[in-house]
Chain A
């Protein structure tokens, strides 16, 4: 028991440290190159965390979350344009509105897409994404089509420009993490995990699988939509192919897989490792498109060598060490999370 409490305290203080660091980062490294990278990293922390709520907890792989990202972006842009809001801090207040509208869309899409399972669900989400991209490009009167949609220009200049966006992304990432943590600890979260492990059995013991899946989908999508909104305001001009970008959709998935599917810290870890690497690659090799090859290589390496991600693999390693050292009283890691289904299947084989 004592060891468990120690671990909790250690983890708590670690979290406080990380959070304090995140709060103070713009003061530590105020140059715009660093804060720009930080904005994008936090964006992906939020996106991966949000994706994990659906993909990690329920096991339903959505490759269409870039659609919600783009929808949130366009929604915020259109709201600001129609209401005639000028650049400044006010546009951030409309981000939750974009979130609510994205949630509505997700409810409709989810109701439809979740009629299908596994492979078909994946394909339906991909189709949904391309459908939205097409709509964004074709509804010229509303979205401006291929010419793009402009946001109000933020009034900030120089190195300060990135700072408000940094904190906006930080807020959304923290909201996402808190939601993810709360879900993971709740009965709702347990229901989601049960669906991931065996949906039919979950149904038979009374988990309202349909409602649970849809709720997770909507929560996940609305977070992604809000992040898309802030992104749109940050880059000030959006085009259908750049916000409804399949690469954004797949990036968040890869980050979750790298860090650890279904864990709370995994998506954060995945995003913090991959996004700076991706930015660096795109910066140095973007013109030759070789960065896509590097990206694919990382992707393949992660999935073939470590399909369960860093955190579950590391946890296994620690548990095994402890067991070998004779600590048979149960390691704290093993207590806080049930073993991933991949492990159970591995045992079964």
Chain B
């Protein structure tokens, strides 16, 4: 029982990190109607950027976000302008292929510079732990969770308290109508892609401290992130957050109750179960209207 409880707590803490990564992905879908298959590669890229800063200059990975998040934001805006914006027809299908190609390109470049050896960012708080009741929790999970909570909070504040956030929400609701009322949809799209990438960088740091990774790690990540946003309902921020928590908690519980090798499988089983009942995902339609 303690083990299950411990797994559940750990699931919630890592679920927060996945919630951040998935919310970038679902925001991008909501605004541009594209599935960014390259999102996992962007997370891995963010992890490598922080890895370089930590490895070469001993910069604390959390502190390195001050540099990597703006860099990734700018990179995201550029990628959107160069590769996504030109897609005029059949966006949904073509964007999958374009972002897949971006993932391959990033994987190839990372492989060229860093080889395919596994690396990990290690800091004092990735092993140090503190006791809660009968078990111990490693500091990094708590720090990572708090960081992601803060960034998610900032995203929500931006969406609901700023004019620009209003423009993003309007574009998500109805692209044409948003254009009609004078919203620069292209600019909103580019910035949203940038925000998605910046949040991927933040998720990447926590991912890079808690996991060993190599350039090919993005496949595993993207299959999880896509499952999460489908489960939550494409384009629903709240859905993505809840789905991430549900998925990671069930994964960690499966890991201790059954076996770690089947942990990933919990993802797919839940996805199938939910889609059988609600093909649009948990919050597919309702939240779209609510926004």
Partners in one complex: yes
Spell out A's residues near B (CB within 8 Å): 59, 61, 63, 112, 115-116, 118-120, 122-124, 126-128, 130-131, 134-135, 137-138, 246-247, 250, 253-254, 257, 288-297, 299-300, 303-304, 307, 341-342, 345-346, 349
* Chain B residue nearest to A145 in the complex (CB): B261
Point out the residue from B92, B101, B268 that lies within 8 Å of A299, measured CB to CB. Answer: B101
A127 to B275, CA, bound (A): 12
A134 to B8, CA, bound (A): 23
- The 9 A-B residue pairs with the shortest CB-CB distance, nearest first, are A292-B108, A289-B111, A296-B105, A299-B101, A293-B108, A130-B223, A296-B104, A131-B268, A296-B101
Spell out B's residues near A (CB within 8 Å): 29, 33, 35, 37, 83, 86-90, 92-94, 96-98, 100-102, 104-105, 107-109, 111-112, 116, 215, 219-220, 222-223, 226-227, 229-230, 234, 261-262, 264-265, 267-268, 271-272, 275-276, 279-281
Contact A122 B96 (CB under 8 A): yes
Contact A289 B116 (CB under 8 A): yes
Contact B96 A61 (CB under 8 A): yes
Contact B90 A341 (CB under 8 A): yes
Contact B97 A138 (CB under 8 A): no
Point out the residue from A127, A131, A257, A290 that lies within 8 Å of B226, measured CB to CB. Answer: A127
Contact A290 B227 (CB under 8 A): no
Query: Across the interface, which residues of B come within 8 angstroms of A130, CB to CB?
Result: 219-220, 223, 264, 268
Contact A289 B275 (CB under 8 A): no
A127 to B29, CA, bound (A): 18
**A-B pairs with beta carbons under 8 Å apart, 18 shown:** A63-B37, A119-B35, A120-B275, A122-B93, A122-B96, A126-B223, A127-B226, A254-B97, A289-B215, A292-B111, A293-B104, A294-B108, A295-B101, A296-B102, A299-B100, A300-B98, A300-B105, A346-B88
- Shortest beta-carbon distance from B88 to chain A in Å: 7
Contact A120 B279 (CB under 8 A): yes
**Further pairs besides A59-B93, A122-B35, A304-B83: 5, Cβ < 8 Å:** A61-B96, A63-B37, A120-B279, A124-B271, A292-B104
- Shortest beta-carbon distance from B114 to chain A in Å: 10
- Shortest beta-carbon distance from B159 to chain A in Å: 21
- Shortest beta-carbon distance from B239 to chain A in Å: 13
A295 to B101, CA, bound (A): 8
